[in-house]
Amino acid sequence: QVRAGALELLAELGDEQSVEIAKKAIESDSAYNVIAAGLQALIVLDSTQALQYGKKLEKDDNPSILSALASLYARSGDASSLPFFEKNFSRVQTYDAIGLIESYQILAAKLDFSTAMAAMEKLQKLGLDQTQSQWHRFAAIRSINDMRNEYNQRAKQTDDAAAKEALQQRVN
């Protein structure tokens, strides 16, 4: 806990030495929460290097690491990260599912409309699947609602009446 907390503080400082310390934590620490904290620090300090380290950690199924990766990929805005989330929906349990699914929605909302709608369809299936945990279903339905609210807000902000109506019809 102490090492993970120290990494969080170093990320707030934002100096060059903190990058090296975060990388060392990811590479050599055995505690998952420290590795995850190192990745979270690297996300803040150097997102390019964080993406490189993130790719190396994708095979890990530890919830702390999956959460850090979800945060990283949600920030990236890269559609190629969507399969990471979809693959890991079933690997996270309890409260961890909420963060992973929320990050998926955040990423999807940054992408083109058709990709975002495909992600919403996957969330809808997840949310309606009674074999999923209550955490998964809750997070999926909440994320769909958040995405709908996001697109309604975008529609309100556009000046193009035709685009506004088309967007509202697609989302509602």
pTM: 0.85
Record the tokens describing residue 102, joined without a space.
């929320």
**Segment 87-126, tens digit of pLDDT:** 999 888 888 899 999 999 999 999 988 899 999 999 999 9
**Segment 19-37, tens digit of pLDDT:** 888 888 889 888 898 889 8
DSSP state of 131: T
Query: Residue 82, Cβ neighbours under 10 Å: how many?
Result: 18
How many Å from the N-terminal Cα to the C-terminal Cα in the chain?
45
Amino acid occupying residue 56: K
Q: Find out whether 50 and 69 touch, Cβ atoms under 8 Å.
A: no
DSSP state of 172: -
